[in-house]
Amino acid sequence: MYLVVDIGNTNIVFALLDKSLVEKKWRISTDIKRTSDEYFIWLSTIIKDVSNIKAVIIGSVVPEATEEIKKSCYNYLKKKVYVINEDIKINFPIKVENKKEVGTDRLVNSLAAWSLYKEATIIIDFGTATTFDVVDKSGAYVGGIICPGINLSLQTLHSAAARLPRIAVIKPKQVIGKSTVQAMSSGIYFGYIGLINHIINLTTLELKYKTKIILTGGLADLFSENLGINNVIRKNLTIEGLYLAYKQHKVNESDK
């Protein structure tokens, strides 16, 4: 059993993996002011038996939160804690101008996608930002596209326009909204459907070959059925990728 922690800009996911399968998963909001003691209390509440946990694997795009969580996991579990891209380097080919700019989450998503399908892939991650990451047919990360996240767009609409309410992301029954809320829902939902389809089409034209489409992140289910393009939902793709990076590291260590 392994505890895998995915620290994102909006949420932190804690997952228990057994033989590569996610057995349990918890999500809390990201707060850079939260201390290691607070994480300690929270972990001791959700994980009663720590004896079966072999190690902790952390992937993070929020450095301010990483050290507190690392300290808390080590103090509570008394196990080795590995931080991806600090203690473990991701073994995956990268073909971009500055490799250091590519976030851990985007690389481990690519690693997991290639490991699962061995196909050229566009990975769409519905997170704080909506990101598109491209793995070519040789199995290398070749870049991607970063768009404003869906909830971030809604928050900006609400904050910038005094008369626009805060709404949840839903699939509208029709395109033409009969009220302000319906019009906002339509704009967000069908607007992102159009954005996603257009970016996939442009990316495919640029690559000059078809790709597998993988959706991950909290809103993957909501957008999957209306894209009009065959796609696969992998809600645990980042968690799987972090675990794979760790397993590769252990194999490489044993070969030395």
Q: Let me know if 105 is a catalytic residue.
A: yes
Q: Which residue bears the tokens 């959706």?
A: 215
Check the CA dihedral 40-77-108-18 and report its sign.
Answer: negative
Tell me which of 6, 105, 125, 133 is the catalytic residue: 105
Buried b (16+ CB within 10 A) or exposed e, 26-51: eeeebeeebebeebbebbeeebeeee
Place of tokens 């302000």: 180
* Cross-strand bridge partners of residue 148: 129
**Dihedral, CA of residue 96, residue 195, residue 239 and residue 44, to nearest 10:** 120
The contacts found for 117-121 with CB under 8 angstroms, 24 or more apart, are 117/212, 119/211, 119/212, 120/207, 120/209, 120/210, 120/211, 120/212, 121/211, 121/212, 121/213, 121/214
Q: Which residues are catalytic?
A: 105
